[in-house]
Structure 1
Amino acid sequence: MSRTPPLGDNQGLWQAVISAAAGRCQCRGTCGTNHERDGGRCKTAHGGHGRRHGTGPVRLLAAPAEPADLLLPAHKAAALPKARLAAWCPTCHDATRRTAAKAAQAAYPAAEPDSLFDL
């Protein structure tokens, strides 16, 4: 999957978010993992190795902190202030985004059948 960074090329903002997170993913379980063994927060660090062997060094993402905001279009996510951003490892980011998308989809009522074909 090709991923466009939510902040575009704004390296200064990315660095500020990663520094504020002490270079560690800030997920606290919204990805579906409770991270309990790691003190309630994901242990993945920027530049560390991924959870699976051979994945190479991890590059943390600076993206919206609130799961629902992960569904914002890229231009709106890029306009968020630093206070509304968090550091995410790719695994937690993707899992949290999928969970938020499922919750948003479940919030919409089921489509009514087309009355054109009522029998």
Structure 2
Amino acid sequence: MSEPLVAVGTWRPVMEAADYRCQCAGECGNAHAKSGGRCPREHDGYTSKHGHRVRLMAAPADVLMSPVEAAALPVGRLRAWCPECHTATARKARAATAPATEAPGLFEL
């Protein structure tokens, strides 16, 4: 099993608690209905028959947290994420917290 080059002491307990499986439960926008509501991706598994290898990461559930705050979190406050779910969740969270901008009128410049 491949492990990250740094912070293995943080990464491994998170992965063991998650059973080396992404812990996204639909926050990314995908209901993960075929896998009981939880992302089916496992560390070192493949996304599909001809897909790419999955490398899970340990990151906070609050995907908008600053990197400085995230680095200070204890292991118990981190979750296992596959890159696709983490990226989609962050994109969705940023869109939900973005200030509403008024679109210009049809003929306004």
Give the TM-score taking structure 2 as reference length: 0.81
Distance 1:17 1:36 in 2: 24
Within the alignment, does 1:33 sit opposite 2:30 as a pair? yes
Q: Is the 8 A contact 1:70 1:77 kept in 2?
A: no
Aligned residues: 98
Choose from 16, 19, 22 the match for 2:16: 19
Query: Which residue does the alignment assign to 1:48?
Result: 45
1:110 Cα deviation from its structure 2 partner = 4.3
Within the alignment, does 1:64 sit opposite 2:22 as a pair? no
For residues 45-95 of structure 1, give each alpha carbon's deviation from its aligned partner in whole angstroms, at most 9, with x where no partner exists: 00000248342x211010012xxx211221211111222210000110100
Unaligned runs of 5+ in 1: 1-7, 112-119
1:39 Cα deviation from its structure 2 partner = 0.7
Distance 1:44 1:91 in 2: 10
Within the alignment, does 1:76 sit opposite 2:69 as a pair? yes
| Percent identity of equivalent pairs | 49
Unaligned runs of 5+ in 2: 103-109
- Aligned-partner residue type, residue 70 of structure 2: A
Which structure is higher in helix share?
1
Give the TM-score taking structure 1 as reference length: 0.74
Distance 2:48 2:70 in 1: 27
Runs of 4+ aligned structure 1 residues displaced above 3 Å come to 108-111
